[in-house]
Amino acid sequence: MEEKTNEQEDQKSGPEGADPSLEKSTAPEKDGEKQEPVKKPETPAAKPKPAPAPKDPRDKLFKPEQTLIISSSPHFHTHDSVPKIMWSVVAALVPATVMAIYYFGMDTLIMIGSCVAAALVTEIIMNKMKGEGLTINDGSAAITGLLLALTLPPSLPISAGVIGSVFSISIGKQIFGGLGYNIFNPALLGRAFLQANFPVAMTTWTYPNTEKYAQIDAVTAATPLAQFKFDKIVANYGDLISGNVGGSLGETSALAVLIGGIFLLIMKYADWRIPVSYLGTVFILGGLFWFFSPGNYPDPVFHLLSGGLMLGALFMATDMVTSPITTAGSWIFGAGAGIVLVIIRLFGGVPEGVMYSILLMNAFTPLINRYTRPKYFGEVRA
């Protein structure tokens, strides 16, 4: 249909403007339904207007008036926008980033900077290859770079981080068509890629530069989850909350991540149902195992505070693009990720499973969306 290609236009009323514009809108209109969608509001089509002889008897009334914009209703629009959402997510990651720098030194800053820069450069290159306008302003590439960096071990070589970042943007996002079309969370996909290619470097951890570990001259450390899995040692909660443990750059401090996450939830830039169902499932399911066999399994609070769960639940599972759009779908998504996580943590060969649990549920998102379509108003379903 023709309307599809129509766009918002400047229409000049007055003797010159009247007739061509009338021609445009003489399509039969029933119930006022048929309207031109505002496809590309950024292209103001100020077309040259011919000056036909006045046909309308009211032309004598016409005065050259102001140029008025014609658009299809609604004429009001929210002040939210994609860049605003994306940059808010970046802002929400600041506390975690600050804690990462505090614990792991200025090298962290170089790692984060390199990952973000690599993400942006890759995005630009992909934009050019696809022959489209630059999309780095929307902020999504910066988030991917930042999130990826925050999930990396402190001792990982910068070059590996850069490779992961390039993979995240190119294969994780742009190859699907860019923002909004990717199936998997790009940052997690990049991390999974690094895990597969640098298995040793990706599982080698260092202790934070704090007094507690100053006496220990071991080069490598164990994460609390690994300590529990292999040695049944439970880290103390205070260290888990503040982040004074071995682990990925931005994941160690549960509190810093939580502060940013709560900001996102308050701004409604993240669906609260996903972290609630994800964390809740882990708490309940992990708690059940602990209740029946406290010696073999860690307690539920330890589950929540350790590893990358907070960061994953608040910033990665809530990624709008790769999580369901329906309310019921959000609950299922979070609960599913929680179940997968507990199974991996308790029975899997690796200590941590946040990444795989979210990636797995990402794959199910289209199916979840399909089977959780809400009943529309007044629908009677058999």
Partner 1 sequence: MGLPTFKKGIHPNDNKSFTNHKPIEYLPIPEEVFIPLQQHIGVAGDVLVEKGQEVKTGQVIGKSEKFVSAPVHASITGTVKAVDQFLHPLGIKATMIHIEKTAEEDEWETINAPENWETASIEDLRNLIWQAGIVGLGGAAFPTHVKLAPPKEKEINTFILNGVECEPFLTADHRAMLEMGDKMLIGMSIIMKILGTENGYIGIENNKPDAIEIMNELVSKKFPAFKVVPLKVKYPQGAEKMLIEAIVKRRVPAGGLPMDVGTVVNNVGTALAVANAVVEGKPLIERIVTVTGQGITEPKNLMVRIGTPFKTLMESCGGLKESAIQVYMGGPMMGFAQYDMNVPIVKATSGIICQEKSDIFKKKTYPCIQCGNCVSVCPMNLLPTRLSSFAEMVKLEEAEEFGILNCIECGSCSYVCPSNIPLVQWIRVGKLQVSESKRKKVA
Of residues 122-151, those binding partner 1 (CB under 8 A): 138
- Residues 328-347 binding partner 1 (CB under 8 A) are 330
Give the DSSP H or E segment for 68: strand 67-70
Give the residues across from 9 on adjacent strands. 70
Tell me which residue of 256, 357, 247 sits closest to 307, measured CA to CA. Answer: 247
Give the residues across from 11 on adjacent strands. 68
Total residues contacting partner 1 by CB under 8 A comes to: 78
By CB under 8 A, name the one of 181, 230, 291, 371 that touches partner 1: 181
Give the residues across from 69 on adjacent strands. 10
Q: Does 267 participate in binding partner 1 (rule CB under 8 A)?
A: no
By CB under 8 A, name the one of 131, 295, 349, 378 that touches partner 1: 378
Nearer to partner 1 among residue 140 and residue 170 (C-beta): 140
Q: Are 122 and 169 in contact (CB under 8 A)?
A: yes
Nearer to partner 1 among residue 151 and residue 322 (C-beta): 322
Nearer to partner 1 among residue 180 and residue 199 (C-beta): 180
Tell me which residue of 227, 361, 343 sits closest to 285, measured CA to CA. Answer: 343
Instruction: Give residue for tokens 């998504």.
Output: 333
Nearer to partner 1 among residue 181 and residue 291 (C-beta): 181
Structure tokens at 11: 């229409």
Closest approach, Cβ 329 to partner 1, in A, equals 9
By CB under 8 A, name the one of 48, 50, 53, 66 that touches partner 1: 66
CA distances (Å), origin 135, targets 38, 83, 146, 152, 242? 21, 10, 17, 25, 36
- Which region among 173-181, 252-260, 285-293, 336-344 touches partner 1 (by CB under 8 A)? 173-181
By CB under 8 A, name the one of 168, 248, 306, 323 that touches partner 1: 323
Nearer to partner 1 among residue 266 and residue 284 (C-beta): 266
Closest approach, Cβ 20 to partner 1, in A, equals 11
Give the residues across from 10 on adjacent strands. 69
